[in-house]
């Protein structure tokens, strides 16, 4: 949320032609989500140079991601745009397939903005999927409303050789560019626009298994019987995904989250062979072209891997709820950003539990290089009022 406190801000609003009443002078009132449009107007005007010479800052989450001292902890939620929102379910009736919703820029923009408008979250993530770039690499996919991603499995050398390196992401994914550009315009400085990609191991689980899996036995068999075939696929994915992440940054993404959601299913030995090197290739590709863009890494069930996650060279490690912020800081042992890590199930609890658990994380993080989030994606049946309560609790907390 955006705090409008000072008389200087009030005069600035007047100078911009905005009504004086919108300044809430001296009241210290917070702008609630329903005022999101006002915040857009303020920030869109303010991001240009101001008649009063006021220096408008970058959005809160971006500053926190860089490790700057911030006035309050920013918050957003993984999978925040989607099924848990009534507004989204209404749009599903009109646009029944996930591919339509994520590939028509106007629809993807509207969905990406829904959680920002409803809750005033500080991050606005592109509505898309980790599988979205696959057609650019020569791999088709479908997403079934009930059972999730579906692909023709790639398991032989001939099948894997059909994968290509995408030479121009703006031709194969023009809707991603349009959506990110539009999001930047719409949120101005009042939220940070996040892009995201899936990392090679997690993408490979979908390519080899042909869809969602619980034990990952096909890809694990490939690791043991034909590791060079798998590493050829992982290398192709790493090169494509590094380029695709850079394309998102050039289209407007201010922070990139990289998801290796299923790498937590690997033993440390296999993680070091089949996940880490390819995570690092993606991080290096982004850092080479865009060294100042903060990168967040996320892995589910990653309590055992937090040191490895930090070693990739990212700026922020997004924790699940199997470790505390204190433990992660102690184990990593150096200054790195942390994101997370409320168990998404807490959002089904009563308000006093949501408040207590959220504040306990905020106290531990001490407002130092921390972005509040859940430990994994928000569940589809989460009650919306609880989500709003969670976001408001973070914004109201004083360090
Ligand atoms: O959840 C994670 O671990 C994040 C990484 C991830 C995403 N997609 C990012 C995402 C993973 C592992 C996927 C694969 C995928 N794609 C699944 C999971 C299935 C499994 O194997 O368990 C599903 C169901 C899809 C299809 C999909 N993607 C749907 C139906 C939606 C709509 C939103 C929802 O969940 O209701 C998405 C959107 C999506 N996938 C986003 C992201 C970052 C959207 C942006 C956001 O709000 O975060």
Ligand 1 centroid vs 386 CA: distance in angstroms?
Answer: 21
CA 241 from centroid of its chain's CA atoms: 15
Residue 305 and residue 355 share a domain:
yes
Q: Is the CB of 79 under 6 A from ligand 1?
A: yes
Element (H, E) at 395: helix 384-396
Residue 44 and residue 88 share a domain:
no
Would you call 69 exposed, middle or buried from its count of C-beta atoms within 10 A (0-12, 13-18, 19+)?
A: exposed
Residue 156 and residue 45 share a domain:
no
Residue 332 and residue 204 share a domain:
yes
Ligand 1 centroid vs 25 CA: distance in angstroms?
Answer: 42
Element (H, E) at 188: none
The pLDDT profile of the chain, 399 residues, written as one tens digit per residue, is: 333 333 333 333 333 333 323 332 223 233 334 444 444 434 433 343 444 444 468 999 999 999 999 999 999 999 999 999 999 999 999 999 999 999 999 999 999 999 999 999 999 999 999 999 999 999 999 999 888 999 999 999 999 999 999 999 999 999 999 999 999 999 999 999 999 999 999 999 999 999 999 999 999 999 999 999 999 999 999 999 999 999 999 999 999 999 999 999 999 999 999 999 999 999 999 999 999 999 999 999 999 999 999 999 999 999 999 999 999 999 999 889 999 999 999 999 999 999 999 999 999 999 999 999 999 999 999 999 999 999 999 999 999
pTM of the predicted model, to two decimals?
0.88
Residue 78 and residue 53 share a domain:
no
Residue 166 and residue 67 share a domain:
yes
Domain that holds residue 15: 1-57
Atom of ligand 1 at shortest distance to CA of 257? 43
Residue that terminates a domain, selected from 10, 35, 57: 57
Residue that terminates a domain, selected from 13, 30, 57: 57
Residues comprising the chain, all counted: 399
Q: Is the CB of 2 under 6 A from ligand 1?
A: no
SS3 call for 274: helix
CA–CA distance, 97 with 114 (Å, rounded to integer): 18
């Amino acid at each position: 949320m955006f705090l409008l406190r000072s008389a200087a801000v009030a005069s600035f609003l007047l100078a911009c032609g905005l009504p004086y009443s919108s300044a809430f002078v001296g009241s210290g009132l917070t702008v609630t989500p329903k005022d999101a449009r006002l915040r857009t107007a303020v920030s869109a005007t303010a991001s240009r140079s101001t008649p009063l010479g006021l220096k408008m800052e970058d959005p809160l989450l971006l500053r926190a991601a860089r490790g700057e001292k911030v006035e309050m902890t920013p918050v957003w939620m993984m999978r925040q745009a989607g099924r848990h929102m009534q507004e989204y379910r209404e749009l599903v009736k009109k646009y029944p397939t996930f591919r339509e919703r994520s590939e028509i820029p106007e629809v993807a923009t509207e969905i990406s903005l829904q959680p920002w408008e409803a809750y005033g979250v500080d991050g606005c993530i592109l509505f898309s999927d980790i599988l979205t770039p696959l057609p650019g690499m020569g791999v088709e996919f479908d997403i079934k409303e009930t059972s999730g991603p579906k692909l023709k499995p790639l398991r032989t050398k001939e099948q894997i050789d059909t994968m290509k390196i995408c030479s121009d992401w703006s031709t194969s994914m023009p809707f991603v560019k349009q959506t990110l550009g539009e999001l930047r315009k719409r949120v101005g400085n009042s939220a940070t626009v996040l892009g995201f990609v899936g990392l090679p191991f997690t993408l490979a689980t979908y390519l080899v298994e042909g869809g969602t899996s619980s034990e990952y036995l096909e890809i694990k068999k490939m690791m043991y019987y034909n590791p060079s075939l798998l590493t050829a696929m992982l290398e192709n994915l790493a090169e494509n995904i590094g380029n695709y992440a850079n394309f998102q940054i050039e289209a407007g993404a201010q922070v990139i989250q990289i998801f290796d959601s299923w790498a937590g299913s690997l033993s440390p030995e296999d993680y070091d062979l089949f996940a880490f090197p390819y995570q690092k290739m993606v991080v290096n590709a982004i850092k080479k072209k865009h060294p100042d863009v903060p990168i967040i890494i996320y892995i589910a069930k990653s309590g055992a891997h937090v040191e490895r996650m930090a070693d990739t060279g990212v700026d922020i490690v997004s924790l699940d709820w199997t470790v505390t912020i204190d433990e992660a800081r102690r184990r990593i042992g150096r200054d790195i950003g942390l994101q997370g890590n409320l168990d998404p199930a807490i959002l089904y609890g009563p308000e006093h539990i949501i408040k207590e658990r959220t504040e306990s994380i905020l106290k531990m993080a001490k407002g130092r290089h921390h972005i509040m989030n859940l430990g994994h994606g928000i569940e589809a049946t989460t009650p919306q009022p609880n989500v709003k309560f969670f976001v408001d609790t973070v914004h109201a907390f004083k360090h």
